[in-house]
């Protein structure tokens, strides 16, 4: 159960980072169908896990953003594909802004909360694995990690938006769904 909560939290963080605007109109058009699929997946995953508390959700969102930023920073040096490097740059910016938005949301609550961005064991393992790769091998592993992270984040956001215990965080979660969906579609296009 603790692992499910950590995974949900990780997904939430990734989603938070995906709250960044995306100027790529083609990606937005594709996201409509993926939203329906992701919502179905999120509903089934959310029903399996216990409801997250506001603090657990905030921690998961923070860890997700941290994973996105750290793995994307690795891409700057290790990736061989220009598309992967461009995507990584976008993820660093989006997830940095997402973290700021999460912190602002949390600081406006009473009592204020501080998110813990400690990576879940699976996130740390993936990050460690990426550190040993270069070139095309890195590109492939990074792309797969991004798809998985954004899928988990999307599920977490949809789950918390539907049944979370804090109205401000529910609004925060639902507001990030379109952006995370767009990022998921972009990540899938890296393959």
135: left (phi over 0), alpha (psi -120 to 50) or beta: left
Superfamily name with CATH number, domain 2-189: Ferritin, core subunit, four-helix bundle (1.20.1260.10)
pLDDT at 51: 57
| Residue 112, pLDDT score | 87
DSSP string, 110-147: SS------PPPHHHHHHHHHHHT--HHHHHHHHHHHHH
Closest CA to 148 of 166, 161, 130: 130
| Confidence (pLDDT) at 50 | 52
Torsion sign across C-alpha atoms 27, 34, 43, 50: negative
Q: What is the pLDDT of residue 111?
A: 87
DSSP state string for 23-67: --HHHHHHHHHHHHHHHHHHHHHHHHSPPPPHHHHHHHHHHHHHH
How far is it, in rounded angstroms, from Cα 75 to Cα 87? 9
Mean pLDDT by 10 residues, the chain (191 residues): 42 42 35 34 42 89 96 95 97 95 92 94 97 97 97 95 94 95 96 63
Cα separation, 39 vs 28, in Å, equals 16
Give, rounded to a whole angstrom, the gap between the first and last alpha carbons of the chain. Answer: 32
Q: How many C-beta atoms lie closer than 10 Å to residue 101's C-beta?
A: 19
Reference 38, options 186, 189, 177, 188; nearest CA is 177
Q: For residues 102 and 72, what is the distance between their CA atoms, to the nearest angstrom?
A: 20
Residue 35's nearest CA partner among 24, 27, 23 is 27
């Amino acid at each position: 159960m603790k692992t499910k909560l950590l995974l949900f939290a990780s997904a939430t963080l990734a989603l938070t980072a995906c709250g960044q605007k995306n100027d790529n109109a083609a990606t937005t058009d594709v996201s409509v169908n993926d939203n329906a699929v992701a919502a179905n997946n999120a509903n089934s995953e959310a029903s399996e896990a216990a409801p997250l508390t506001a603090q657990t959700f905030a921690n998961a969102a923070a860890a997700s953003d941290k994973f996105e930023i750290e793995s994307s920073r690795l891409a700057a040096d290790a990736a061989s594909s220009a598309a992967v490097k461009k995507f990584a740059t976008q993820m660093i910016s989006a997830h940095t802004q997402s973290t700021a938005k999460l912190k602002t949301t949390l600081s406006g609550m009473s009592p204020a909360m501080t998110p813990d961005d400690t990576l879940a064991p699976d996130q740390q393992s993936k990050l460690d694995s990426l550190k040993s790769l270069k070139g095309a091998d890195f590109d492939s592993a990074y792309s797969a990690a991004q798809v998985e992270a954004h899928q988990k984040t999307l599920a977490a956001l949809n789950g918390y938006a539907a049944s979370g215990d804090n109205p401000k965080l529910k609004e925060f979660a639902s507001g990030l769904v379109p952006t995370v969906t767009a990022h998921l579609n972009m990540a899938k296009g890296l393959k």
